[in-house]
Amino acid sequence: MFQRLPNASGERVSFTIDGRAAEALSGDSVAAALIANGVQTCRATPVSGAPRAPYCMMGVCFDCLVTIDDVGNQQGCLVRVRPGMRVETQNGKREIER
Amino acid sequence: MTQTTRSDYDVAVIGGGLVGSAIAWGLAQHGQKVAILDEGDIAVRPSRGNFALVWVQGKGLGLPEYAGWTKRSADNWTGFSAQLREQTGIDVCYERPGGFLPLLSEAEMEHRANQLKRLHNQPNVVRYDYEMMDRAAVAKEMPFIGKDVVGASYCPLDGHCNSLKLLRALHTGISLSGVAYLPNHRVERIEQREGGFRMVTASGEVRSGKVVIAAGHDGRRLAPMVGLDAPVRPERGHIIVTEKTAPFLKFPVGFIRQTDEGGVMIGDSFEDVGLDTTVRNGVTSTIADRAIRIFPLLGKLNVVRTWAALRVLTPDGFPIYEQSTSMPGAFVATCHSGVTLAANHALALAPHIAAGGLPDEFTAFSARRFHVPAAA
Amino acid sequence: MSDLKPRYDLAVIGAGPAGLAAATLAAQRGLSTVLLDEQRAPGGQIYRAVTQTPVKNPSVLGSDYWHGADLVGPFRDSGADYAPGSTVWSVSRSLDIGLSRDGAARVLPARHIILATGAIERPFPIPGWTLPGVMGAGAAQILLKTSGLVASGNVVLAGTGPLLWLLAWQYLRAGARIDVILDTTPRENWRQAMPHMGAFARSGYVAKGLKLLLEVRRKVKVIGNVTSLKAEGDGRVQSVLYRQGDGAEQRLPADTLLLHHGVIPNINLANATGCAQNWDEAQRCWVPTVDAWGATSVEGVSIAGDGAGIGGALAAEHRGRLAALDALHRLGVLDRATRDRDAAPHREALDKAQRGREFLDTLYSPAKDFRVPQDETIVCRCEEVTAKQVRDAVKLGVSGPNQTKSFLRCGMGPCQGRLCGPTVVEVIADARGVSPAEVGYYRLRPPVKPITLAELASLPKAEDEIAAVMHH
């Protein structure tokens, strides 16, 4: 659980998480935007199905993998959130078609 | 380190890769007291670079006995993997759905058809089914093939396994069977002593009644110490592996296969560069390009690893299995199909080594075939 | 973002303090220079988002953070090209850089390359560390810097090291809540660190550090001498179990558990390039082997900053300048004497910045129980391999991490060993009763970050490379 500092400034960005409308700040990475929106788990692992969420926030751990605009296994912490972006949490292995 | 290990073994197997561990496993099942002498964490280790195919089609043109040996091993694989699972609890995920070799031009189709025809027309060659399939037939099994795929050769005997699990199962089985696995024991010298052998290694001395050289590239150095010959050379091959993906590819497709864990392995390449295992991006790029021509949907997948390893090649590409005539009790076994032939190494070769000699069926695999003077 | 030239005299990889300082100096002295960085804005992790953080109140992140802006200004004016959002996945011995930008891969040749890939948090494997809600303290700090996000609910910090205390201080400044800090600094570290106290006392850090520590301790409950940690919860962390000394296990509610026990060099790119590396016993990590200028065993490749051994942000910028001067010398712009003369003030500043490092290394050296985890603990997060599995492989005769890779897939996932390598090495060393130096480290190969197969396929290919695949 994270919350935004009250005086954190920035432009609002509208995007979707699993089809639901969400808002972020323009400097947010996708991973930060998910955390800001109270998303607690961004994927289930392809090995055991265990839930995972961002761990390192700097491109190292690959636990923030999500599907962004229909492309699977994107490192959410390395992609800036953009207006209209469609972010989807992942369940297990990536599908070949997306 | 200069400590001396004074142990007595029935057999010392030099090399802990797939060939050495399969033979050691087989020897142990025949009641032999075995030691494996291996190198350490960093070694050439060709068997870590394998593609995990249990592959029959196209093998044996020029040595019909090899076609038979290969088919026999593939046939042995079901029982072999079951035995490993029973003993170790490790499923090596052997499957035999049949394999495709994709072909990207009419010229490739024709060349492949001729090659297989010549292979199967050899006298005394083993009989089995294979098929040249046109594009429509291939597309029926794999509708997602790319537009460049003209056809494929297909053989129902081809399959694949998880070779990392195979390595672990063999080593677990070896451990359960009481084999002594001795890492950091690079063999410096082999000497014949009192009807047996004495190996001088980096970590002391080991004595044994028999010795099997299954040391991959190092066989070239070691075999002459016991009156044998293993004229092998390294050939570098590159492999790419992708992230884990939901199952989409049921068949091993020559140089593309999806593992039981979901990753897609993509090969391969052939370079004569000595013992250099550096990855060349231009080579992996070519491999990637060809794979996408065959299966365009692979293009989106992330590559998580690439690596290069060194095949152990004899001058004609076929294995060498031989017992020394000057020092009976010393054997050499070397090949570049350590996965396909693992079942035979464990079940068909090891029993003869345990019994003390190779029967006539192995004569064709003697290195003496390289000593015939060239025809005038 | 600048368009890239076809080739550069100097390519610097990583836009933290070392990379910014190196690129700035080299470009000012006339080298055609490019700074490639995976992030979208300069600063690295230490000065992350320094040009655009939504946390505008300067007292929250502190003056040390804002110093980063002093590096960005001169860099922008230096004439160096800047390519943010560029992931470097390969550096070859022939000095070709494989990079990926906006989904397209290319190869960029340079005459000299400075790797300024910085540090990563040392993996902190405890039972439950893979649960959502458990993250690195560094990760929390990045969320604060980039997005003004702070943990809420029950917040527990656990571990040891300067960054843990700095984060706590920043959280307090920001008005965020911390329930408790579980300090895992081993008691005996104080005794061992004392001989280095003199140098530390003369460093610039001591007054600042003490003030910060006191402020945090005044406001937050700190439980010291914590000897075991475990995160528990159903689907996400709900509580933290800990032991103080050899006392009974205690339970704390936690919505967020922030772990930290130091940073280690991010060595993957250097390793995959083939740079020799050595085990650093004091910092308990593998480090690329470099000379006083940061030059590695690979001709034309240097490393500046924490990527060549942890020295901190100030040291990193001086190391960046030294590496840049050496690059100028190697490329024939400066003779040896000029290089040495111009380097003198930077060397002096570096010595000053590194003063007291032994004290910090010794005091904050993580306890063995947290480096060599218990059997049930996951060590490889990608392939979900436990410490017990690694120990069992050692029993089968496995002597190093490259063999555990083959046996267990440990280190074969997308993170390529970054989150398991240090632990696997420690577990094997402990099980074998030898030093990690003897155990070794993963042999890594490009790509060190994933690229798509289509990107790989798009790269240039030499004729013999095509022949190696197609003409067989």
Is the C-alpha dihedral spanning C335, C336, C341, C346 positive or negative?
positive
Confidence label for C471 from pLDDT (cuts 50, 70 and 90): confident
pLDDT of residue B374: 55
Any domain includes A8: no
Partnered with residue C157 across adjacent β-strands are C181, C258
CB distance A92 to A22 below 8 Å:
no
State mean pLDDT over C344-366: 96
pLDDT bracket for residue C472 (50, 70, 90): low
Do the beta carbons of residue B209 and residue B32 sit within 8 Å?
A: no
Structural domain including B105 reads 99-156
Give yes or no for A62 touching C (CB within 8 A): yes
Residues B261, B275: one domain? yes
Q: How far apart are CA C303 and CA C172, in angstroms?
A: 35
Q: Which of C106, C405, C456 to mutate to test the interface with B (most CBs of B within 10 A)?
A: C456
Strands C8-13 and C33-36 come out as: parallel
Provide the CA C438 distance to its chain's centre, in angstroms: 23
pLDDT on residue B8: 85
Q: What is the pLDDT of residue C3?
A: 84
Task: Flag whether B76 is in a domain.
Answer: no
Asked if residue B295 and residue B249 are part of one domain, the reply reads: yes
* Percent of chain C whose pLDDT exceeds 90: 95
DSSP H helices, C148-230, are 162-173, 187-193, 197-201, 205-219
Any domain includes B260: yes
Sign of CA dihedral A51, A53, A55, A58: positive
Rg of chain A, C-alpha, whole Å:
13
A44 near C CB under 8 A: no
| Phi and psi based region of residue A24 (left: phi greater than 0; alpha: psi -120 to 50; beta: remaining) | beta
Any domain includes B69 = no
Q: Say whether C256 and A40 touch across the interface (CB within 8 A).
A: no
Q: Which tokens go with A66? A: 């999500």
Domain membership of residue A4 (yes or no) is no
* Residue C461 in this model has a pLDDT that exceeds 90: yes
* CATH assignment at residue B195: 3.50.50.60
Q: Check whether residue B227 and residue B237 sit in a common domain.
A: no
B306: pLDDT strictly greater than 50: yes
Does A93 touch chain C if contact means CB atoms closer than 8 Å? no
Count the domains in chain B: 3
The verdict on B270 and B223 lying in the same domain is no
User: What is the pLDDT of chain C when averaged over all its residues?
Assistant: 96
pLDDT-derived band at B25 (thresholds 50, 70, 90) equals very high
CB C159 within 8 A of CB C321: no
Q: How confident is the model at residue B1 (pLDDT cuts 50, 70, 90)?
A: very low
pLDDT at B367 over 60: yes
At B145, list the tokens: 């093939």
**Nearest CA to CA, how far is A69 from chain C (Å)?**
13
Which residues in chain C are contacts of B41 at CB distance < 8 A?
398-403, 439-440
Beta-strand relationship, B196-201 and B204-213 = antiparallel
Q: What is the pLDDT of residues C64-99, one digit of tens each?
A: 999 999 999 999 999 999 999 999 999 999 999 999
The mean pLDDT of C324-348, rounded to a whole number, is 98
- Residues A26-46 pLDDT 10s: 999 999 999 999 999 999 999
Domain annotation covers residue A96: no
Clarify whether residues B122 and B258 are in a common domain: no
What's the pLDDT tens digit per position in A58-98?
999 999 999 999 999 999 999 999 999 999 999 999 999 88
Both B222 and B322 in one domain: the answer is yes
CATH of the domain at B264: 3.30.9.10
Residues B301 and B348 in one domain: no
Count of domains for chain A:
1
Which stretches of C296-414 are assigned E, i.e. beta strand? Answer: 301-303, 378-380, 385-386
Last residue of a domain, one of B289, B313, B337: B313
Residue A97 lies in a domain: no
Q: Quote the pLDDT of residue C86.
A: 97
Within an 8 Å CB–CB cutoff, is residue B147 touching chain C? no
pTM for the predicted model, two decimal places: 0.95
Whether B238 and B290 map to the same domain: the answer is yes
- Interface contact C454-B300, CB threshold 8 A: yes
Residue A61 lies in a domain: yes
Asked if residue B249 belongs to a domain, the reply is yes
- Answer whether residue B296 is part of any domain: yes
Domain of residue A17, CATH code = 3.10.20.440
Q: Dump pLDDT digits (tens) for C132-182.
A: 999 999 999 999 999 999 999 999 999 999 999 999 999 999 999 999 999
Segment B46-67 shows an average pLDDT of 93
Partner residue facing B300 (CB), from A46, A71, A92:
A71
Is the residue at A2 inside a domain?
no
Q: Which amino acid is at A88?
A: E
Residue with tokens 């030239």: C5
Numbers of helices and strands, H then E, in chain A: 1, 9
Residue B56 — very low, low, confident or very high, per pLDDT cuts 50/70/90? very high
> Same domain for B226 and B183?
yes
Residue range of the domain that includes A26: 13-91
Has residue B86 been placed in a domain?
A: no
Measured CA to CA in angstroms, residue C104 lies from B18, B85, B280, C28, C86 at distances of 39, 45, 19, 30, 10
> Do B198 and B324 fall into the same domain?
yes
Residue A59, domain member (yes or no): yes
List the 256-275 stretch of C: residues with Cβ below 8 A of B.
274
Hey, what are B143's tokens? 């509708």
Q: What is the pLDDT of residue C1?
A: 46
Question: Are A93 and B244 a contacting pair at CB < 8 A?
Answer: yes
**What residues in C contact A58, CB-CB < 8 Å?**
45, 120, 138-139, 142
Domain boundary (B313, B332, B347) is at B313
Domain annotation covers residue A1: no
Give the residue from B313, B335, B356 where a domain finishes: B313
Strands (E) in B80-158, as ranges, are 99-103, 131-134, 151-155
